[in-house]
Amino acid sequence: MGMRRPGTPTLEEVAAHAGVGRGTVSRVINNAAGVKDSTRRIVQQSIEALGYVPNLAARSLAARRTDAVTLVLTEPDWRQFAEPFFSEIVRSLGDALADTGMQLMLTLVHSDTERKRFLEYARGGRVDGVLLMSVHAGDRLPDMLAEARLPTVMLGRRSGDEYVSYVDADNVGGARSAVSHLLSRGRRTIATITGPLDLYAAQCRLRGYQDALTSAGLSSVESLVAESDFTEDSGRRAMAELLERHPEIDGVLAASDTTAAGALQALRAAGRRVPEDVSVIGFDDFALAQHTEPRLTTVRQPLEEMGRAMIRLLLEDMEEPSMAYRHVILRTQLVTRDSA
Amino acid sequence: MGMRRPGTPTLEEVAAHAGVGRGTVSRVINNAAGVKDSTRRIVQQSIEALGYVPNLAARSLAARRTDAVTLVLTEPDWRQFAEPFFSEIVRSLGDALADTGMQLMLTLVHSDTERKRFLEYARGGRVDGVLLMSVHAGDRLPDMLAEARLPTVMLGRRSGDEYVSYVDADNVGGARSAVSHLLSRGRRTIATITGPLDLYAAQCRLRGYQDALTSAGLSSVESLVAESDFTEDSGRRAMAELLERHPEIDGVLAASDTTAAGALQALRAAGRRVPEDVSVIGFDDFALAQHTEPRLTTVRQPLEEMGRAMIRLLLEDMEEPSMAYRHVILRTQLVTRDSA
DNA sequence: CTGAAAGCGCTAACAT
DNA sequence: ATGTTAGCGCTTTCAG
């Protein structure tokens, strides 16, 4: 299993070949200062000649670090995974990490076995830090990681009083401004398609929706709320349901871009004109530019910044471990196509 | 960085606590035979009491293995990532690996920096094996891994004479049978929307399409072929283009399910009725049951089996490293909704 | 069945 | 600037 073939050269052999001590070779491969240029060159030649590759297990045993972090996906439904939101975040994490010389990996955790296996893996020191996304309310994984003193940062929080470090968007504010915008454009019967309500972000968006209505002196009607699971299909179903209950709907706040797309299909199928008859605003998961749909306005989440912020928090915690949890909440932005 | 807090107990401390030798503790945590049951119990209590967690760096240095494999995604375009094909394969790999006690990780490689970093990572012995998918024609990564004697298995091949081990579907046969089916149902002007033609799988499907036409005594017309990149959007565009050139089209073979979905949209937008006027068959990336679209027939790829086969090849290579490359090609199946 | 001892290949502190 | 040395924490013979 995975054993390196006998011939694999070690640092010691490189040292011998180059006629220097092990320390020097170590300094060269780690790009450490304090090696004469001529020596460095000689060592590099030996490395080249022998085809030397550092043994990372040995390195991390000695140095007590791995230079790798992992993003954990606990989503039991893999399809989540196929959402643009996800790939955008991953891209931004990768970019943010590129400069640091760290390796980003993904770990997929759905079954309980996998969860346990991952915990052993992480606590066993195979990664220097852990990033988590879309963690559901009751999930204790982040706490277990934090208790193991492993630098841990979540995207989104599990509840209103979260301790483990996280980066989140201002979901309440985003939803509120979207609904206010619809109201200001004369819409009066505004429905919302929420995300899965065991996700705190979905609760926040619903709250923002309600806030805005209340502030405008309107009461929020329960039958104007339908739940989705962020997929296009569930958006379609939710919209159909809402239309059945309230044919007079003239505005919709959708939990995500994908959901909004589904809602649009249902609206059209029902003969509604968008955006003339009904105006739809969704939370923007990727880029407005990608829409071919006639949505003029979306709540833009700063995904790029969120990824960067996650890495920053993680690195801070890795560099000087502290007892503090840190939280960053990024503002969302109401964007219309013209201004994009 | 990532250093374990001073208090972390080691195997030696567990041994002391339990009043046994290190070897015994090692046997216990590895579930090795040859430990008296009573001793085993005592040791387990000490492990529990001290909250011992094995240091995996030390373990893999000593044992020369990591019990982890990684799936590498070289796709420069992250959106690929959001395709159902991808999540299905990942799921099936995860399932197949679950029994083996191995950890599955994903590595994302787009830039050249990342590619180099991954190579160091893999050759440094951080994983026991590597799985690759959607490798493009000119990519040398698989060869470099294989040359480093790392067990390596690809999903799909880069060309007609591939050496590195792979599992593939019978793309030529699948396309051929799909087109034959269309012909047998009386369709006469059959177009195809191919995948990106630098992907061998896409070439094969195109070849199958052409074969079927030729066998039926029809000549394959170049203007009936349009290229897509597997996305819905490109499918839509390709279909629109084809319709412009050949309004008389009455059958379409699409490169993937997603592409087929796009094609359908374009067809409808152009006022065609599906499947009455035009019949569309796509390569099935996930499950027929998921379609809400009126496609009756798809070419089903046995994704589940493909994942399992990949793991089997990988494990075989890990258990008894040999000089042989192994190839498995799985049959596709033409499935219609009724028979599903 | 169990203990002792010899590494695994590297980093980092300490000499020089 | 460079060589030397002492571990890092575990697996795995080899004795007993």
Strand-pairing partners, residue A72, are: A107, A132
Closest listed residue to residue B145, CA positions, set B336, B329, B325, B272: B325
Q: Which of residues 57-76 of B touch strand C (CB under 7 A)?
A: 58, 61-62
For residues B179 and B182, what is the distance between their CA atoms, to the nearest angstrom? 5
- Give the minimum alpha-carbon distance from B303 to chain A in angstroms, rounded to a whole number: 15
Which of B61, B111, B113 comes nearest A61 by C-beta?
Answer: B61
Q: Does A128 touch chain B (CB under 8 A)?
A: yes
Which residue's structure tokens are 């005594």?
A: B217
**A148 Cβ contact list (under 8 Å, min separation 6):** A122, A123, B53
Record: contact A124-B4, CB cut-off 8 A: no
Provide φ and ψ at A5, rounded to 5°: -65, 150
Whole-number Cα distances in Å, A147 to A138, A154, B7, B310: 16, 15, 13, 37
- Binding residues for strand D (Cβ < 7 Å): A 19-24, 27, 33-36, 38-40, 58, 61-62; B 4, 8, 10-12, 22-23, 26-27, 29-30, 52, 54-55, 58-59, 61-63
Radius of gyration of chain B (CA): 25
Tens of pLDDT, residue by residue, chain A (340 residues): 444 455 699 999 999 999 999 999 999 999 999 899 999 999 999 999 999 999 999 999 999 999 999 999 987 666 566 667 888 898 899 999 998 999 999 999 988 889 999 999 999 999 999 999 989 888 999 999 999 999 999 999 999 999 999 999 999 999 999 999 999 999 999 999 999 998 999 999 999 999 999 999 999 899 999 999 888 889 999 999 999 999 999 999 999 888 898 899 899 999 999 888 999 999 876 554 454 455 668 899 999 999 999 999 999 999 888 889 999 999 999 988 754 3
Task: Give residue B66's identity as a one-letter amino acid code.
Answer: T
Record: contact A2-B110, CB cut-off 8 A: no
Q: Is the peptide bond between B275 and the residue preceding it cis, with omega within 30 degrees of 0?
A: yes
**Backbone φ/ψ region at B51: left (φ over 0), alpha (ψ -120 to 50), beta:** left
B 287-316 → A contacts, CB under 8 A? 292
Q: What value, to the nearest 5°, has the Cα angle with vertex B307 and ends B152 and B288?
A: 150
Strand-pairing partners, residue A283, are: A299
**Closest chain A CA to residue B290:** A233
Which of B56, B64, B88 comes nearest A3 by C-beta?
Answer: B64
Best of B60, B118, B257 to mutate (most A CBs within 10 Å, chain A): B60
The C1' atom of C1 and the CA atom of B102 lie apart, in whole Å, by 29
Closest listed residue to residue B151, CA positions, set B320, B309, B314, B325: B314
Between A and B, how many CB-CB pairs are < 8 A?
A: 161
For residues B44 and B31, what is the distance between their CA atoms, to the nearest angstrom? 11
The C1' atom of D11 and the CA atom of B67 lie apart, in whole Å, by 15
A5 touches strand C (CB under 7 A): no
B 145-184 → A contacts, CB under 8 A? 148-151
What stretches of A217-302 show up as alpha helix (H) in DSSP?
Answer: 232-245, 257-269
**A22 closest-nt by C1' vs CA:** D3
Answer yes or no: are the C-beta atoms of A282 and A295 closer than 8 Å: yes
Best of A89, A91, A106, A152 to mutate (most B CBs within 10 Å, chain B): A106
- Which nucleotides of strand C lie within 7 A of protein CB? 1-14
Tens of pLDDT, residue by residue, chain B (340 residues): 444 455 699 999 999 999 999 999 999 999 999 899 999 999 999 999 999 999 999 999 999 999 999 999 987 666 566 667 888 898 899 999 988 989 999 999 988 889 999 999 999 999 999 999 989 888 999 999 999 999 999 999 999 999 999 999 999 999 999 999 999 999 999 999 999 998 999 999 999 999 999 999 999 899 999 999 888 889 999 999 999 999 999 999 999 888 898 899 899 999 999 888 999 999 876 554 454 455 668 899 999 999 999 999 999 999 888 889 999 999 999 988 754 3
Q: How many CB atoms lie within 10 A of CB B204?
A: 23
The C1' atom of C6 and the CA atom of A1 lie apart, in whole Å, by 22
Record: contact A91-B114, CB cut-off 8 A: no
